[in-house]
Chains A and B, each alone.
Chain A
């Protein structure tokens, strides 16, 4: 575990302890079930955007992709499409979206910020248009239940691990394996640190970058399905709004530098949990919920500042040792 991950884990434990101390109702089965569930959903998005951030890019369209997937899912249920086919179709759509982003960024050489900002606007508009901007409910359908309703209750308690958690575990293991054990993960880190240097070493940087955007949009699609199932309804204008910012915040707080080349999957997961935990504890500790955004902003700022300062001290010590 690297220093950054230890830092963010300590932060989590600190806030957790403080909240528990302030309000003993914090640790109960129902609240913990929700905390784990929502943290998992955020973490899946965060892992996705982490891949893009490692390449030195950004994806602002995540929330709109979630909104689009959730909206089409609602339509599919309304028109009674085959559930399996719908899920496959929506995941395919997210992959195509990522592919388009990647191609525009690498082949047309547009800036990631611009491409995905346009994506943010475009997919949101499409969601509203397709659904006539009507809020839609998801009636219970057996087909979808079989995908998402997995729940493991622990004996004699109201605490249960919901399906997003299991999705997260699977995704996290695969992502960490990809990043740390495969040659492509190594290439991705090299490319994020020095794209030209990677290219001069025979690495096909364009393909890798496209892959990163595909992974990001695909995981946005996965979390879109999971969010839709958890929310029971979709508001085409709002579902998923700002989620890209939570995802980016989780990735950055979790140790991904926006300059690229750095990232740890476990750190991103804990950071996503910190963000969810903060929202939860602001409620329970009795701070005005109107301050929620401000507090989350301050904690993230504090976290990355501390990280930067530590890095500087380490670098100084290292260079003077030589």
Chain B
């Protein structure tokens, strides 16, 4: 393979976003008919790199070479023209249209504006055959499972003659069977000469699929592995830049009283599934599972933003049934949500206003804001959490992901919670901030706070949790103590295979 000239070469790519350097001097080479995996922790720059190749972002520095010629990919349409297709983690299909209409969306063959329906159905059928999807082309996409929708996305890529298909976390919401089907399709595409760039947190998949692996860390190349070199340990070492034991060194603290007890809890998206568990003071409880397993919804129900439809919860022995987040906050339960920008922060307000937002009520003087206390609180938070901001009047939008997350945490820590809920706490965060957040989690646990965190990042779950609950389709499929934690066991439970427990 090394004889043939590379299909695609990305040279010294650099990309800057407001407040954060996403990529710096990143090089990447892709040959025809190979599966190249791109791995790295959250925030390492994988997605940005892919978006540059797919024409969604323009690089600030560097160049892209395709078939030995320099090309400029300035929008998605141009990427398509060059045969590059990106399949997002969240699929981009229109639910209300049928399979054929989705495959040809934006590329409809037409005669003076009237879509040639016969042709799109006939051609779509051929693409479906190539990905092994046995559905009629007039099936509504809304009626397909996520796994099947993904195959429609791949068909769509084939319809524009893609030579390079980029898949961003394709298995994050697939069942085991669906994942296996996808791997077969990938092998098929490979044998047809199509190159795949595969992004995943699941190192097991990466080992099985990849011809080569490129590891990114903090927006830079951390290393490359070929063939037999692709092992779990080698990848992790490159991802975190040191031995894992140094990165996560969870010192288990002595557990105290029971903080939260959940019994037969039923959440709105899964009203028939009962969830029961408990967490104690000083404990860090991890919740693992696929995207869509109901983990986020569980946290949101404990926090009261989507009230429970049944069951009961007790916080320190007192009944807790929050009808809104205010109830939960008043009882000492706080949540740093998964979607930081939409739920965690008011982006257009400054650091001071964001850190005080939840506390204003507590510090008010007959409804008036106590500006002195507010300013002191902001300065203390900035200092304690080492938030990198020029001053407390900085609009949080212009902070990096890591510093934004610290603002969210700062907002809650000043409320002295007894239960801290974290949903994907390190998504899109650089390694430095990440380690500080882990340290913070440990310190809080040591001070007697109970911490529950949801994470899709395997290393994080393995490294930080004292105990792990694994969820699948709205139920807890198993519980793993620290001694029994390993990726294989978690994946088994996450894909609904109870036997592993």
Contact = CB atoms under 8 A, between A and B. Distances in A.
Interface residues of A, number: 23
Nearest to B330: A202
B368 interface: yes
Contact of B346 (A184, A193, A204, A319): A193
Given A194-B342, A322-B18, A202 B368 contact: no
A29 interface: no
**Most central of A187, A190, A197, A199 by chain B CB within 10 Å:** A197
A198 B357 CA distance: 8
Contacts of B367: 182-184
B358 A186 contact: no
Contact of B344 (A182, A200, A204): A200
A182 B335 contact: no
Contacts of A318: 18, 395, 398
20 contacts: A183-B360, A183-B361, A183-B364, A183-B367, A193-B347, A194-B345, A197-B345, A197-B346, A198-B346, A200-B337, A200-B343, A201-B357, A201-B358, A202-B328, A202-B330, A202-B358, A204-B324, A318-B18, A322-B18, A322-B398
A190 B349 contact: yes
B210 interface: no
A233 to B, nearest CB: 42
A181 interface: yes
B430 interface: no
B17 to A, nearest CB: 8
A112 interface: no
Given A196-B342, A200-B337, A189 B361 contact: no
A197 B345 CA distance: 5
B369 interface: yes
A200 B353 contact: no
Nearest to B334: A202
B348 interface: yes
Contacts of A196: 342-343
Contacts of B269: none
Contacts of A322: 18-19, 398
Interface string A193-224: 11011111111100000000000000000000
A261 interface: yes
A193 B350 CA distance: 12
A186 B353 CA distance: 8
Given A200-B337, A322-B19, A183 B368 contact: yes
Interface in B238-277: none
Interface string A50-76: 000000000000000000000000000
A318 B335 CA distance: 30
B413 interface: no
B369 A202 contact: no
Nearest to B347: A194
Given A196-B342, A319-B19, A201 B368 contact: no
A197 B353 contact: no
A261 B343 CA distance: 16
B357 to A, nearest CB: 4
Nearest to A318: B398
Contacts of A319: 18-19, 398
B368 A193 contact: no
B325 interface: yes
Given A183-B360, A202-B329, A204-B326, A189 B19 contact: no
Contacts of A198: 346, 357
Interface in B315-361: 324-326, 328-330, 335, 337, 342-349, 353, 357-358, 360-361
B329 A197 contact: no
Interface residues of B, number: 32
6 tightest CB-CB pairs across the interface, nearest first? Answer: A319-B18, A202-B329, A202-B326, A183-B360, A201-B357, A200-B343
A194 B346 contact: yes
B305 interface: yes
B404 to A, nearest CB: 12
Contact of A193 (B325, B349, B358, B369): B349
Interface string B394-424: 0100100000000000010000000000000
B369 A182 contact: yes
Interface string B359-402: 01100100111000000000000000000000000010010000
B369 A186 contact: yes
Given A186-B353, A202-B325, A202-B326, A197 B369 contact: no
Contacts of A193: 346-349
A193 B344 CA distance: 12
A256 to B, nearest CB: 14
Determine which residue in B343, B348, B395 has the highest number of CB atoms from chain A within 10 A of its CB, and name it. Answer: B348
Interface in B1-57: 18-19
Contacts of B349: 189-190, 193
Nearest to A183: B360
Contacts of B346: 190, 193-194, 197-198, 261
A182 B368 contact: yes
B350 to A, nearest CB: 11
Contacts of B358: 201-202
Contacts of A187: 360
B454 to A, nearest CB: 15
B258 to A, nearest CB: 25
Interface in A6-22: none
Given A200-B305, A202-B326, A202-B329, 15 more contacts: A182-B368, A183-B368, A186-B353, A186-B369, A189-B349, A193-B346, A193-B347, A194-B345, A197-B342, A197-B347, A199-B325, A200-B335, A202-B330, A318-B18, A319-B18
Given A181-B368, A183-B360, A183-B369, A201 B325 contact: yes
Contacts of B335: 200
Contacts of A184: 367
Contacts of B411: 201
Nearest to A178: B367
A199 B357 CA distance: 11
Nearest to B356: A186
Given A183-B361, A319-B19, A322-B19, A200 B325 contact: yes
